[in-house]
Each structure stands twice: as C-alpha cells, then as structure tokens.
Amino acid sequence: MRSATAKVVTALDVSVVVLASVTGTISGMIGIKATKELNHRLDEIDEMLIDFRNEKKDRIRSYAMLLIGISWITFLLGMDISTWLRKADDMKVENENTQLNIQWYIPFYSLYFILTGLHLNFAHSSFGVGRRFRRLNLALKKYFLPNELPGVWMKSSKIPTPAAAATVNDAVTIKNITDMLTNKVAPVRLRALTQKQKPGHSIDDMAYIHYSLGKCVEILSSAYGLAVLFLLVSCLLHLVATAYFLFLEIMAGKGIVFTWLQFVWIIFHFSRLLLIVEPCHITSQESRNTLKLYHELNRNVFDDEMQKSMDKFWKQLTAGKIFFSAYGLCQVNRKILTSLSAAIATYLVILIQFQKTNG
C-alpha cells in the first residue's frame, strides 16, 4: 500500500474485527447468567404457548441460518486469500517473500468466523423472541377472537350480562340472525369474552407472556448491548473500507476478479448488518401488533372480571415501548439503516478526497 489513506483504512479494518470479536466473546462469558435467565423464560413461554410451538421448523430454520452463514464466510475467505496470493505473485520483489505477508493474515481471517458466529447468535436469539411475540398474537386471536362467527347481534338495546351473553352465543342459529335482519333493529355486538378458558389461556396468562418477552428484550439489550454496538460499528467501517477499496480498483482498472471480490464483500457486510437490524425490527413490529389486537379484544369484553384483567394488560402495554438498543446509545431498528447509509456516504467521500490529495 503506497498511500497513507489506504494504510489507515486497512488498520481500522483490522482493528474493528479484533475489537468486535473480543468484545462479543467477553460479553458472552460475562452474560452466562443472563443467558440462562433468557433461556428459562423462553422455555416457560413455549410451555404456555405449546399449541403454537413447532420445534422441528425452528430447528431447521436455525441450522439453515448457521449453515448458510458459515458456508458463505468460508467461501468468501477462501476466494479472498487465493486472490491475494495471486496478486502477491504479481507484485513479487527480489529478496522479499510477498506471499508471507498474506499468510500472516490467515490468523486474522479466522476472526471472521467468530464475528459471523456472534451475528448468527444474536440473530437467532432476537428472532426467537420475535417468534414468541408472533405466537402470543396468534394465541390472542385463537382464544379470544374466534372466527367461527363474524359477530353475534341481538334485538336488545341493552348490553346483556355475561351469563346472558354466553347463553345467546350458544343458542345462535341462522334463524336468529335472519330475524334480526328482517326486523331491522339497531344491533348490539354480543360476542362476550370471558375468563372461562383452558388453564394457561386467560388474559392474565397472555399478559404474563408479554411481560416475560419484554424482559427477554431487556436482557438481550443490556447483557449484549456493547457487543451489538461494536458489531454495528464493524459493519459501518467495513462497508466504508470495502467501498473505498472497490473505488480504487475501479479507478485502477487492473483486475476484474479483485473488483468483483470487493463487491461480494460489500454484500456480506450488508448482510451482517441486516442480521442485527431485521430481527430487532420484526420483534418490535410484533409487539406493536399486540397493542392493536388489544383494542380489537377490548371491544368485545362484557365481563366485569375480564375487564379488570384487560385494564391491567392495557397498563402493561402502554408502560413503555419494546425495542432493542445498542448499549443504550441507539435503538436498533430499520431507522438506523438510513443513518448508517448517510454516514457511509459521507466517510467515503472524505476518504476519496484524501486519496486524491496524497495519491
């Protein structure tokens, strides 16, 4: 590397991989207790939502994500090392072993397996929380918003008691609905929700599951927030550095293989970024869907005891938003993609200007 800018960018490229790998490993060792609590809560939630659990599908999804991630980084590192070795032969200088410089990079390249493992581990955990939120929403729909009848309507202008509502629901026939439509009486919605559910299927149980999932998000954000922050920084710097070297290769116009390799590295680093952002966004989105479902449920409640449980659930839902954070410095969601894109463009322009200045 003949320019000072290229040397600085490479040093940052190497340093951020080392820092992210070390930070992630230390966070994993320190967060063993937090991980045990997380797994305990997820197991408890799975037992309560056993009707919606699909262990085989979850296992296949996890193995597929692991296999694709490790295979991709192995292929990419193999291509990168072989390309650099060929380039070292072309740049060979008398009395210097240029290939030895590339071989010394192999231990550094092995850190990419740790880095990829950290991404896959966090993605697996956050995806798992998001799936439980989705199952919670499915449970709310199945247990409290049955689809057998679009709604039960009566000819009375008074809201019936829970017992009367249950009796009416049981006695509904096509004739009842036909009579209501024929008489054109102002309808009153009567599909009453009651607490007479199977054990583990009450609103209080659903509220507890929601609370426990919120604690899972807090555990991931607090115990592994610093590691996530370094992973985000590594994605940012790698995208800047790789785009910078891609620009140099395009301007030099010497090797199309190396140019395409830089382009593939950009796709890989962007995929790493999505492995952090997308699971967090999906989890937050599913938690917001729970709030929407609450309003739909609340319109169908006629039971006083049920209403008390719904009120408690409402306070819990509005107590605070559920989101992942990177060590409390920023929220991890899709909005961060626009911020990082702007930062990448800005730093890339600065590096190109420095490159033009010092050659």
Tell me the average pLDDT across 258-281: 91
User: In this predicted model, which residue has the larger pLDDT, 306 or 235?
Assistant: 235
Q: What is the pLDDT of residues 138-166, one digit of tens each?
A: 998 888 876 533 433 333 333 344 444 44
Rounded CA-CA distance 16/22 in Å is 10
Residue 224 has pLDDT above 90, yes or no: no
Answer yes or no: is 169 within a domain: no
- Count of domains observed in the chain: 1
In this prediction, residue 93 carries a pLDDT of 64
User: In this predicted model, which residue has the larger pLDDT, 279 or 257?
Assistant: 279
Three-class SS state of 301 = strand
Q: What is the pLDDT of residues 343-356, one digit of tens each?
A: 999 999 888 888 76
User: In this predicted model, which residue has the larger pLDDT, 8 or 43?
Assistant: 43
Q: Is the Cβ–Cβ distance between 337 and 273 less than 8 Å?
A: yes
Answer yes or no: is 167 within a domain: no
Answer yes or no: is 215 within a domain: yes
Q: How confident is the model at residue 87 (pLDDT cuts 50, 70, 90)?
A: confident
Angle between helices 256-298 and 106-144 (to 10 degrees): 20
Rounded CA-CA distance 251/262 in Å is 13
Task: Identify which of 99, 125, 142, 116 has the alpha carbon closest to the alpha carbon of residue 20.
Answer: 116
Tell me the average pLDDT across 164-172: 41
Q: 112 is in which domain, residue-wise?
A: 4-146+191-358
Six token digits for residue 275: 């492995």
Q: Is the Cβ–Cβ distance between 210 and 316 less than 8 Å?
A: yes
Residue 122 has pLDDT above 80, yes or no: yes
Tell me the average pLDDT across 213-241: 90
In this prediction, residue 6 carries a pLDDT of 77
Six token digits for residue 9: 């960018």
In this prediction, residue 43 carries a pLDDT of 92
User: In this predicted model, which residue has the larger pLDDT, 168 or 318?
Assistant: 318
Q: How confident is the model at residue 171 (pLDDT cuts 50, 70, 90)?
A: very low
In this prediction, residue 189 carries a pLDDT of 34
In this prediction, residue 152 carries a pLDDT of 36
Rounded CA-CA distance 236/7 in Å is 18
| Residue 119 CB burial class (10 angstroms; 0-12, 13-18, ≥19) | buried
Residue 33 has pLDDT above 80, yes or no: yes
In this prediction, residue 146 carries a pLDDT of 62
The pairing of beta strand 153-154 with beta strand 188-189: antiparallel
Residue 339 has pLDDT above 80, yes or no: yes
| Residue 190 CB burial class (10 angstroms; 0-12, 13-18, ≥19) | buried
In this prediction, residue 200 carries a pLDDT of 54
What are the angstrom distances between the C-alpha of 111 and each of 20, 77, 103, 105? 9, 11, 14, 10
Report which DSSP code applies to 331.
B
Q: Is the Cβ–Cβ distance between 324 and 332 less than 8 Å?
A: yes
> What are the CB-based long-range contacts (under 8 Å, 24+) for 266-271?
266/239, 266/242, 268/72, 268/73, 268/76, 269/235, 269/238, 269/239, 269/242, 270/235, 270/239, 271/72
What is the model's pTM?
Answer: 0.78
User: In this predicted model, which residue has the larger pLDDT, 36 or 357?
Assistant: 36
Answer yes or no: is 178 within a domain: no
Residue 358 has pLDDT above 80, yes or no: no
In this prediction, residue 177 carries a pLDDT of 42
Answer yes or no: is 260 within a domain: yes
Residue 237 has pLDDT above 60, yes or no: yes
Answer yes or no: is 131 within a domain: yes
Answer yes or no: is 196 within a domain: yes
**Average pLDDT score over the chain:** 79
Answer yes or no: is 269 within a domain: yes
In this prediction, residue 41 carries a pLDDT of 92
